[in-house]
Amino acid sequence: MTRTGNCLISVIVSAGLTSCGSLANNNKEDLKAQSAKAPEKWTAVLPNVSKESPTAWLSAFAHPELTALVDKALQGNPDLRLAAARVREAQALARVAGAQRLPQADIDFSSMRSQRPSGTRFAGLGSRANRFESMLDITWEADVWGRIKAQRQSAVAEVEARQEDEQAARLSLSASVVTAATNLTEATLQAALAEDNVNALRTQLGVLSKQLERGLNAERGALDITLSRSDLARAEATVQTRRREIDAAKRNLESLLGDYPAGKVKGLTFLPSMTSSIRAGLPSELLLRRPDIRAAERRLAAAVSDEKVARTAFLPSIRLTTGAGLSSAELSSLLQRESLLWSIAGSVAQALFQGGRLQANVDAALARYDQALERYAQTALRAFTEVETTLAAEHFWAEQENSLRAASTEAAQAENLARTSYERGLSDILTLLDSRRRAYDASSALISAQASRLRNRVSTYLALGGAAR
């Protein structure tokens, strides 16, 4: 492992952990202390960040239609039902592990009829006997070394990890729905802009055609019409591209909602607005906030318990067994006192030679612990990277949006001036068409920048571990 990797792990876990015993008390408070070497603040700082954090990240968009879409997805998405089923499975397995702490009782009833051969003096004759038994057997293993307790701790940690996985899935789904709805709205606005562009070019082409019919500068008019038709055809092709994007965005959103992808969802009527700034909090708080990090920590705790289970296999197991029941040759006398029988036994079993299997199990458990530790470090590093990246991008997108808004305003004014100049005969059609393309491109880029900024804001809330509604 590189020096950088070692430094990262020392930020996330205690550098002095040399045995599983020192990790046994790994909990959330320990993780908060272990993150003390993380930066005191994010390196990507937003200017004028509000100190008030929204109660729920969706409320930052102030869009009822968006909230309704997210609520529908949380109720009908199959991925969430799958995550919930995995939680229920882990809970059942935890109950199985916990049941080993209690005595195990079995009751059975048996009947048998047998014949034994007689002596050679009476060949062909034998004795027949019946036997009826009803037994209650109770077995209990004394958890002297904590093996059963460790198994249950591992199972409980896995339950908690899967619960965090479910929470992460809810958060991810919410973010995906907001992003998909934003994509659909962006595609719809782009399609409307493209259709307006087509209508403007058609109107312009109609004016040129009338001028040609009146015989006004026929040679120049034919060239102007040809150029206008070329731009109009290209604009019409752009409309079809935008419509295709709308169709794909609708089907993707419907899939997230748990509906059949029929391409009929309406989506949003306008792009969500961002009503508040981001309060990222401290980097060390991220370790306790993000569900994927909490899930990785729980699996690390489960690996600690699994290693303890593997080591206890070297120690003797102590079992107590007792049985009581009734046994009789006649069914009618089975319930009499004379038919009563019972037994009490204790046993101690110690493994002597297993061909290296027990040590191999310990080595495998230690390797799984190392894997869990590296996954935990990797998850934390990815989380820090996502937050830093999206926080920095927030400022860049805001500046780009402001620049494009100014560019769109100027391009619209330039188009009006070029149209007036062309109508007065002071400029050619190329200047008018170029100004029209500039105005369209600037407006289209502004819509894309606004949508991209929204998507980045969603990614920021996702990276910060905001709670799904």
Domain boundaries, the chain: 66-111+130-463
| Lowest mean pLDDT across 133-142, 364-373, 374-383, 413-422 | 133-142
Tell me the pLDDT band of 469, cut-offs 50, 70 and 90: very low
Q: pTM for this structure?
A: 0.77
pLDDT higher than 50, residue 459: yes
What is the predicted pLDDT for the residue at 465? Answer: 85
Reported as a single tens digit per residue, the pLDDT across 401-445 is 999 999 999 999 998 898 888 777 777 778 888 888 899 999 999
Measured N-to-C along each axis, helices 147-213 and 78-99 cross at an angle, to the nearest 10 degrees, of: 180
- Side-chain-side CA neighbours of residue 100 (13 Å): 17
Q: Look at domain 66-111+130-463 and name its CATH class.
A: mainly alpha
- Supply 175's token pair: 């973010």
Per-residue confidence (pLDDT) for residue 119, from 0 to 100? 57
pLDDT of residue 408: 93
Q: Which residues contact 29 (CB under 8 A, 6 or more apart)?
A: none
Please compute the mean of the pLDDT values over residues 326-332 and round it to a whole number: 64
Question: Of 18-27, 332-341, 368-377, which gets the smallest average pLDDT?
Answer: 18-27
Supply angle C-alpha 431, 435, 438, rounded to 5.
140
DSSP string, 210-277: HHHHTTTTHHHHHHHHHHHHHHHHHHHHHHHHHHHHHHHHHHHHHHHHTS---S-----SSPPP--S-
Mean pLDDT of 11-37: 43
Please tell me which residue, 168 or 53, carries the higher pLDDT value. Answer: 168
pLDDT on residue 260:
93
More confident residue, 358 or 122: 358
The span from the CA of 53 to the CA of 461, in Å, is 11
**Secondary structure class of 18 (helix, strand, coil):** coil
Grade residue 217 by pLDDT with cuts at 50, 70 and 90: low
In the predicted structure, residue 218 carries a pLDDT above the cut 60: no
Can you give the pLDDT at residue 90? 93
User: Of the ranges 25-39, 168-182, 378-392, which one carries the lowest mean pLDDT score?
Assistant: 25-39
Estimate to the nearest angstrom the gap between the alpha carbon of 105 and the chain centroid. Answer: 42
pLDDT at position 26: 45
SS3 category, 321: strand
Query: What is the pLDDT, as a whole number, of residue 318?
Result: 85
**The predicted structure's pLDDT at residue 379:** 92
Residue 349: band (very low, low, confident or very high) from pLDDT cuts 50, 70, 90: confident
Categorise residue 138: left if φ over 0, alpha if ψ from -120 to 50, beta otherwise: beta
The three-class DSSP label of residue 77 is coil
Report in angstroms the alpha-carbon separations of 279 from 56, 109, 164, 460: 12, 69, 23, 10
Q: Which residues contact 461 (CB under 8 A, 6 or more apart)?
A: 57, 60, 175, 278
| Alpha-helix runs per DSSP H in 39-120 | 64-76, 78-99
When pLDDT is cut at 50, 70 and 90, the band that residue 221 belongs to is low
The DSSP output letter for 468 is P
Strand order in the sheet with 317-328: 104-117, 126-142, 317-328, 340-349
- Degrees to nearest 5, angle at CA 56 with 161 and 467: 10
Highest mean pLDDT among 129-138, 338-347, 412-421 belongs to 412-421
How high is the pLDDT of residue 1?
A: 42
Residue 236 has pLDDT above 70, yes or no: yes
Q: What is the mean pLDDT of residues 313-325?
A: 83
Distance between CA atoms of residues 33 and 47, nearest Å: 29
pLDDT at position 209: 74
Top pLDDT among 267 and 180 is at 180
Which amino acid does the sequence have at 34?
Answer: Q
* pLDDT tens track for 38-88: 555 555 544 333 333 333 578 788 788 888 899 899 998 999 999 999 999
- Averaged pLDDT score across all residues of the chain: 80
Q: Tokens in use for 353?
A: 């030679």
Instruction: Count CB neighbours of 112 within 10 A.
Output: 9
Q: Tell me, what's the pLDDT at 407?
A: 93
Beta carbons of 307 and 365 less than 8 angstroms apart: yes
Show Cβ contacts of residue 243 under 8 Å, excluding neighbours closer than 6 positions.
191
What pLDDT is recorded for position 121? 55
Task: Give the pLDDT confidence score for residue 337 in this predicted structure.
Answer: 67
